[in-house]
Structure 1
Amino acid sequence: MIISPKALARAKAEKLKKGYTAFVETETVAHFLKKEIEKQNLRVVVDQTPHGCWFTPLEREE
């Protein structure tokens, strides 16, 4: 089964919006997820490792 990197990035962005941490293994998905984060104005911490990239949502200040 082939999964679109853009669709995977959108699904990961939805997890971030719900307060969950997201992990991606490829540069391609990380690139699309970063674009999605910008588009949705999400606040996250990005931790890039040699094995992948962790995206951790920051709590919203209200």
Structure 2
Amino acid sequence: MMFVMNKRQMADDKLNELLNGNTVYAETEELIRLMNRRIESHELDITVDETDIGCWFIPNS
């Protein structure tokens, strides 16, 4: 049996990690897009480190 992860829930979970001061990783374009939206709407000070296979979101505070 395979479980399908809800991308919006994953983005919300990762946003909560960022709000707690933790670095998070997103590996798909959709998840990266959702993360960028959430970061903008919360006006978070985040460094984004893009790689060939995904994106690291690193809190600056």
Q: TM-score under structure 2 normalisation?
A: 0.91
Off by >2 Å, runs of 4+ in structure 1: none
1:27 to 26, 29, 45: 29
Deviations 1:6-53 (A, max 9, x none): 111111010000000000110100000100111111110001100110
The number of residues matched between the two structures is 59
Which runs of 5 or more residues in structure 1 are unaligned?
none
- Give the structure 2 partner of residue 45 of structure 1: 47
Give me the identity figure in percent: 32
| Structure 2: tracts of 5 or more residues without a match | none
